[in-house]
Structure formats: structure tokens, C-alpha cells
Amino acid sequence: MLTDPKLRSQVDSLWDKFWTGGLANPLDAIEQFSYLLFLKQLEDRENADERQAKRRGAPYQSKLPKAMRWSYWSQLNAEEALSHLKKEVFPNIVNLAAEQSSFAQYMRNAECKINKPSLLIEACKLIDQMDISSQNQDVVQRQFEEFIIRHQYNADPIRFLRAVQSVFLDKRKLVAADLYEPPLTNFGSDAVDKWFNKKEVVEIVAFTNLLTI
């Protein structure tokens, strides 16, 4: 549940825009928001790394190509931005991860389902207005709630995923092996394999990669 009223209002506004813009399926809206949020955070991380290097007086080599930068493509006119997102950004997201990683496997089939240029620009402007870094816990909580609803898990997997959320907020990054380590093993050494199939494990880890900041 989002606790910050301003952020909650902004996210609700974004859902409304997705709905009126043709993404009537809430699962599609959740997915597209996750993708856009991840793309914004890619550049936020890049900028933070560059600032840190400058403070140390160290040279910095950009890891994010210009074509992938939020500040580049989101400032194009609406039609160009949507075309660029579909033809350049989405096909290359997978290249930002190791080929065999769960994130790469998950993103291999990523699809931009936004088809209205004006909707993309409105969504980008709203995400720009969100104070994502300081309110990240609220965003993560909202995304985990939507992830749980999307998969219609029962009580035990839901409890496990809430624990995964806590571990993620503490570590800021998860790999599949983390699901088999304390404190998640408090649910039992076989909890992961008992409640989730291999595809779901890949999806859980990839989902947290989308939220990494």
C-alpha cells in the first residue's frame, strides 16, 4: 500500500491515463509501468554513478548508450518517442543484462503495448514528477502488491513474497540463490520449489530487477 499521498495520487493518475489510453487490462498497465519505471531508473543510476566518480576525481565511462537514455528519447516528439521506444529501446533492454540471467530471460519477450504517442509522453511526464528515489519503498510495495494480485497466489506464497520484498528493500538486488538463503529459508528449505515452478522463480527475480535502483 502506498503511504505517501502525493505519490499515491500520481500513480493513480497514471493508471487512469493507461486506462483511457487503451490499456484496459490492469495487468498490461502494471507491466508497462514497471518497464517505464525501470528505464527511468537506468538513467538515474547512471547519473548517480557519474556524480560519484566526479567526487572521487575518477574518470567515468558511460555504460548506458545515448539511445537508451530516458532524457534522450522521452524528449523527442510524441510520434518519434514511441517509434524509438518500440524499435530501439525495447529490443535492446535485454542486452543490458548477462545473457543467461533471469532478467535477460524475462525481458527477451518484453513488449511495448503503449500504442498512443500522447499516452507515452503523458506517462513519462508523470514519472518524471514522481520522487522515485525518496519514495522507492512505497513504489516497491505497490509493485509487489500488483505482482501478487496478477498471479493470484494463495496465502503461503503471498507470505513468502512479502518476505522477498523485505529482503529486496534491504539488499536492493536479488539473484535466484537469495531465495534459498536466510531469512527466506525460515519458510522451509523447500519453500521455493514447493510453491513456485522454475518459470515463476525466473519471473520473480526478473521482476525485482525491474525495480532495482
pTM above 0.75, yes or no: no
Neighbours of 66 (CB within 10 A): 9
- Tens of pLDDT, residue by residue over 54-72, are 878 888 888 889 999 999 9
Least confident piece of the model among 82-86, 98-102, 176-180: 98-102
Proportion of the chain above pLDDT 90, given as a percent: 32
Is pLDDT at 2 greater than 60 in this prediction? no
Greatest mean pLDDT among 3-7, 99-103, 105-109 lies in 105-109
- Dihedral class, residue 57 (left if φ above 0, else alpha if ψ from -120 to 50, else beta): left
Is pLDDT at 1 greater than 50 in this prediction? no
Predicted local distance difference test score (pLDDT) of residue 87: 94
Please compute Rg for the chain using Cα positions: 18
The CATH number corresponding to 13-129 among 1.20.1260, 3.40.50, 1.10.3470, 2.60.40 equals 1.20.1260
